[in-house]
Every structure is written in C-alpha cells, then in structure tokens.
Structure 1
Amino acid sequence: MIHVGSDGVFTMKDILLKNSLLLLSRFLQKHYGQKTILLIDEYDVPLDYAYRSGYYDDMVGLIRTLFGAAFKTKNSLEFAVLTGCLRISKESIFTGLNNFKVYTVKDVRYKEYFGFTDVEVRQMLEYYGFSDQYDVVKEWYDGYLFGSLGIYCPWDVINYCGDLRDGSVTEPQNYWVNTSSNIIIRKFLSRAKTADRNDIEQLGIVQK
C-alpha cells in the first residue's frame, strides 16, 4: 500500500491517499470501540503553499476528496474540528458538506479557546516566576479580539517565556512574524479596489 524508495521517499497510490483519513477513522473506531474525533489544525496551510508553488488546483482537488470522504462517514466519526485563516465555505473545497458550523473572530461562542486569556497569561507568568513581565507581555502579545474577549497569541507568549527561562533574550520578540506567508493577501490587495484596500487598512489601525 505504501512504498518506501531507496531514497527514503514515501509514495502511495492516489486512492489510498484520498481515503487515508477515512481509513484512519475506521481503524481507530474498530480498535477502541468508539467513534473518532478529527482535529485538523491550519487546514489552509497546504493551500497557501500550493498557491505559491503553482499547483493550487491539484491541492484543492486532493483536500476536497480527502475531507469529503472522511467527514461524510457516520459510522466511525463523532465530529471534526478544523482551524485556519481562510473561512470555510460550502462553495469551495467543502462542496457537498452541509453539516458544519463556522465560528469566526466575531463570534462569542468558544472565544476563550482561540488563544490565551488574560487570566491564563497571569497564571503562566506567576508559575515561571515572571510576574514582573506582565505589562510587557500584555503590550506586545495581547493583540486579538474574539467576540468581546481580548486574547493573547499563544505562540508568542510561550516562546517569550521559554527565552526568559533560558536567559537568551531580555526584550520581547515578534515570534509569530516568520511562521506564515502573506503572499495571498498581498496579491489580493494588488487587485482590490481602492475602497476595499482602505477597509482592510482600517483593520490595522488601533482605535484609541
């Protein structure tokens, strides 16, 4: 089913690849005797990479088939959770799937699960003995608003605490800045109308 070449590269037939999540769910359900829960983080990252590398249509086809096969099964799947920056749309790669709910940064439900809350950050800093760094952490990393709740970027907070423990830095860093590409956004802005660009630019303006 899966072939490993002399160069260490894994290859498999397309039919196996496209049904891999479905098969995994079935195997886990059979082994443990209960339905599985699929957690897929940053589902749109492969789409972004494919867009930058020139095989976007092929990746869309793969993900549409991969997710479609896995999410439509009722015997082995309890539910699935996907996270990503691109909004899930019934008209895109999720054609044929209509039993899902989208939660965005504007929604109140689950707002505390999109990052670290202020209480959690205070607890973390106290645990590691960095309570005196609270004001710095809040100024640098308390940058999200989900529903009506201010949320800290987990990646930044964790890395800053780690560097403080190691003694490798004394000043906060932009840890998140190099974790993703903005090429799709830049191309969108280059083609957008002036009114659209102005609306997007307003998102980056802090209201006093």
Structure 2
Amino acid sequence: MVETNDRKLPVGIQSFEEIRKGGYLYVDKTDIIWQLANRGKKYNYLSRPRRFGKSVLVDTLEAYFMGKKELFEGLKIMQMETEWVKRPVIRLDMSRAGAEPESLKGYLDYTFQEYESLYEIETRGNSPLATRLIEIIKTAYNKTGLQVAILIDEYDSPLQHSWKTPLYEKCTAIYRDVFVILKSMDKFENFIFITGCTKFSQFSLTSGLNNLSFIGFDSEYAALCGITKEEAICYFKPEINKLAACKGWTFDEAAMHLSSYYGGYHFSSRNKVDVFNPFCLINALADSDLENYWFSSGTSPLLSKFEDDIKKRLKDFEYCPIISDTLETSDVTDGGAELVLYQLGYLTIKGYMDGIYLLGFPNSEVKKSLYETILPVLTSEAEQ
C-alpha cells in the first residue's frame, strides 16, 4: 500500500473489489464499461500492451455481471444501470496457465473443477476439457435461467512463451479443442470478452470464434484501458503537485514530464486521445519520481524471437509506416518487427492517412528501455 497526501494509490492491485473496499483511488471508466457490456458486440477481443490495466478491467466486468452493485456506488455506471442482474460468470486467467501443454491442461482442469463444484456437476476427470466446459456453461444457464458471461484474461500468455518451441503446436491444439465450443454455445452466452497483448489467430482461441470482434482499434474504446491526460489532471492533482514540489517544477512542468515519460499512447486512427501507461503513471506518482517502471516489471518472451529483425531496423522505428490491414488484422507470427513492437507497446500510432498508419515510440521511457536496456540484454543472452 502506498499513501500520498492521505490518498491511497492502487500500486500493483488488480482486484476491483479490493480497490473499492480498500478506499484506493479509482479512475472511473464504468460508463465505457457499461456501454461495452450493454451496447457493444457479443464477442470481443481487446489487445493492449502489458501493464495497461486489462486485468482490472476484466475484474470490473466480473463484478458488474455478478451484480455487485455495492462496489459501484458513486461511479458513473450508477446513472446507467437500473437492473443489476446477478449473471453467472466463467472467468479464466491464462497468465496462470504456464507455457507447457501439461501446465495449460492442469490449469484448465483445476479451474473447471472449481466451476463444477459451484454448479454441483459431477467431476469426470477423464472427460475431455471441451466436454466439461460445455457442461459448465449449460448447467450455469439451466440453474440460473440466465445467459453466461465468459471472461478470458491474457489469452495469449502461454502462446507467447511457447511460440517457436516444440511445445507451441501442442498448446495451440489444446486451445483449438477447448475453446472452439464457445461458438456452438451461443444461445447460452450473454457476453464474451477476451484480452491479450498479441494476436495469435492461427490454431488458437480466436480461430474458433470467427465472429469475434477485434475492438482494439475502435475509437469508443481508445481510452478504456490506460489513463488520459485529462483523467490524470482530474484524479491525481495532489500527487502531481507533490512531484512538482519534490523536483522543483511547476505543476504544468510536472504534468509535461509525466506525459513525455509515460504517455503518448494512441490506439485509434479516429480518436487521437493521448493515453498514459497506468502502471507507470501510478508508480511514478506514488514515488514522486520518474523511474523506468515498465521495463523493471518484466518483458515479453516474444522480443527475443524478433531480436535480429529489431536490431537491423532500429533506425526505422522513429517513424515507421505500416499498412492498416497489416496492423489491424495480422497474426503476430506473420508480421515483422514493427507489428510485434506495436502489439507489445514499444510502438504506438503517431498518425494515419490513406490506409497507412505511422508508428513511433510513445514516450522516452519506452525508447530508452529498448535502446539502452532490452536489446543489450537480448544480445548478451544470445551470445552465451
């Protein structure tokens, strides 16, 4: 827990319930969340870089679908939601599934057992995982009379780790076998929401859902994850003032330095809203300092697999054109360095014209991390 001016900042906290019950500062996105859940599409995939608040978003959706009205008191959604239906929810966090077929199957088996216990389904350990998931969805629907919300967080985590290894085909086979049933369960499902950093379409979860909408470039969701400049000023004025005092800056200078170091993300050609990485911004305001928080929290295993291409094209990444269809629809395994760097958050949208996106570094923290820290580390590892 970090306290700033007697205000509690949610450093590292991914539980919406803990944030609300613990009195932590919460940047209210619930109006956009309500629109997504009630006016959006039924099958959704949102890609955002690591540490961008995807898990908090999934947790908030879970609380909403479970009808936990008390957690939303005082938030924008209270002006929009009137029924607060307590809907059955099936949630999977694939970041807990490891990188090997056995750990992936083990995680799904354990999680399915929890839902089988909840809905009093006789566990059949020898039954295929897909059969068990079908039974869970049907039973949840039959026992409640309500369609099920299915939330899958960090779907690509096992695939990022296993790609370009002998384990990848086995992992994708599990995805294909288990999750292809979601399409056939349509009448039992109310809403499906999937998050990840990258897009692995071939042989993976998304290949079985050809009706899945990729909403990562939609203008209405450009600020669904992350914190806008306006939100930073509105919600964190005392913390920005404290940073300014510590550094000998004016308020405006502190805001400018924060934006230069942690902001600069854009996710839509039609909505140019400037977005901060929330993990970095909140840590910086908690510490009243500007540190390299994003790199310090880890890197994607995909970077090492594109190392040669990245090093050859370093000078290209300041202003990097890419065809819109390539950026918006291509599988990360079929693209080049610019595609993987965009999906991982090292590049962002700088402009758009006539079907061409212009990519570049979002901010100085990311640029410095890639040039001074990440690539030297990858090179050192490759030489060992």
TM-score (norm 1): 0.70
Q: Which of the numbers 179, 185, 202 marks the counterpart of 1:73?
A: 185
Find the aligned partners of 1:19 and 1:102 in 2 and give their Cα distance.
Answer: 27
Deviation at 1:195, TM superposition (A): 7.1
1:9-63 deviations in whole A, cap 9, x for unaligned?
A: 9867474434454444334323432112222222111111233775111111111
Matched, 1:145 2:266: yes
Over aligned residue pairs, what C-alpha RMSD do you find?
3.5
Query: Does the 8 Å contact 2:156/2:199 carry over to 1?
Result: no
CA distance in 1, matches of 2:222, 2:194: 15
Contact 2:161 2:301 in 1 (8 A): no
Question: Taking structure 1 as reference, are residues 172 and 61 closer, same or farther at Cα in structure 2, changes over 3 Å only?
Answer: same
1:80 deviates by 1.0
CA contact (8 A) 2:226 2:275 kept: yes
> What is the identity, as a one-letter code, of the residue corresponding to 1:68?
V
Residue in 1 aligned with 2:152? 40
Q: Provide the residue aligned with 1:110 in structure 2.
A: 221
Residues 152, 193 of structure 1: alpha-carbon distance in 2 compared, 3 angstrom cutoff: closer
What does the per-residue CA deviation read over 1:96-129, in whole Å, with 9 as the maximum and x for residues that have no partner? Answer: 4321211334x42311213222222223213xx3
**Letter of the 2:173 counterpart:** G
Distance between the aligned counterparts of 1:191 and 1:140, measured in 2? 26
Q: SS state of the match for residue 149, structure 1? A: coil
Cα distance in structure 1, aligned partners of 2:301 and 2:234: 37
Q: Is the 8 A contact 2:227 2:275 kept in 1?
A: yes
2:289 maps to 1:171: yes
Aligned to 1:131: 240
One-letter identity of the residue aligned with 2:308:
S
Structure 2: give runs of 5+ residues left out of the alignment. 1-105, 111-124, 244-253, 321-337, 342-346, 348-358, 364-384
Q: Which amino acid aligns with 1:17?
A: L
Aligned residues: 189
* SS of corresponding position for 2:220: coil
Corresponding letter in the other structure for 1:139: S
CA contact (8 A) 1:189 1:197 kept: no
Name the structure 2 match of 1:99: 211
Q: Which residue of 2 aligns with 1:82?
A: 194
Equivalent-residue separation in structure 1 for 2:315 and 2:173 (angstroms)? 30
Given that 1:19 and 1:70 are in contact with CA atoms closer than 8 Å, whether structure 2 keeps it comes out as no
In structure 2, distance between residues paired with 1:117 and 1:56: 37
Q: 1:179/1:64 Cα in 2 relative to 1: closer, same or farther (>3 Å)?
A: farther
Other structure's SS at 2:196 match: coil
1:159 corresponds, among 278, 283, 289, to 283
Range with bigger deviation, 70-79 or 182-191 = 182-191
3-state SS of 2:187 partner: coil
- Where relative contact order (Cα < 8 A, 6+ residues apart) is larger, the structure is 2
AA in 2 matched with 1:183: P
AA aligned opposite 1:57: E
Unaligned runs of 5+ in 1: 1-8
Residue type of the partner of 1:182?
S
For the 8 Å contact 2:265–2:362, the answer to whether it is kept is: no
Separation in 2, partners of 1:30, 1:174: 50
Moved more, 178-187 or 111-120: 178-187
Is the 1:25–1:70 Cα contact (8 Å) retained in structure 2? no
Taking structure 1 as reference, are residues 157 and 19 closer, same or farther at Cα in structure 2, changes over 3 Å only? farther
Q: Which has the higher mean CA deviation after the structures are superposed, 13-22 or 43-52?
A: 13-22
